[in-house]
């Protein structure tokens, strides 16, 4: 006797993982560099390989990827606590 498989019509759960590759664009010379972002630390400083400018996060951003990257950092993408200093102290 052939029995039908149980129904699997329940909605599929999808988990979105953070995108880890971002292209930084220097605000001074417009040089672009594609980098893999760390998942366990923020990148506060980056020296542009085009002009040597030291990039720092803009006010309100936690890292150079959030300020100058094509993709925000993994903690911001995943809406979890970031490593930016708390402003309420």
Among the residue ranges 8-12, 60-64, 81-85, the one predicted with the least confidence is 8-12
| Residues pairing with 23 in the sheet | 34
Two tokens, residue 71 = 């993709």
User: What are the tens digits of pLDDT across the range 12-38?
Assistant: 444 568 899 999 999 999 999 999 999
User: What are the tens digits of pLDDT across the range 51-62?
Assistant: 999 999 999 999
Task: From 44, 25, 37, 45, select the one nearest 83 (Cα to Cα).
Answer: 44
DSSP states along 6-65: PP--SPPP--PPPP-EEEEE-TTT--EEEEEPPSSS----EE-TTT--EE-PPTT-SSHH
Residues contacting 51, CB < 8 A, separation 6+: 26, 28, 29, 31
């Amino acid at each position: 006797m052939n029995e039908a498989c149980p129904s699997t019509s329940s909605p599929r759960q999808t988990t979105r993982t953070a995108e880890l590759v971002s292209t930084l664009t220097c605000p001074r010379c417009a040089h672009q560099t594609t980098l893999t972002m760390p998942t366990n630390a923020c990148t506060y400083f980056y020296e542009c390989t085009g002009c040597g400018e030291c990039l720092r996060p803009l006010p309100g951003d936690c890292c150079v990827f959030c300020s100058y990257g094509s993709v925000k950092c993994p903690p911001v993408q995943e809406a979890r606590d970031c490593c930016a200093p708390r402003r309420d102290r």
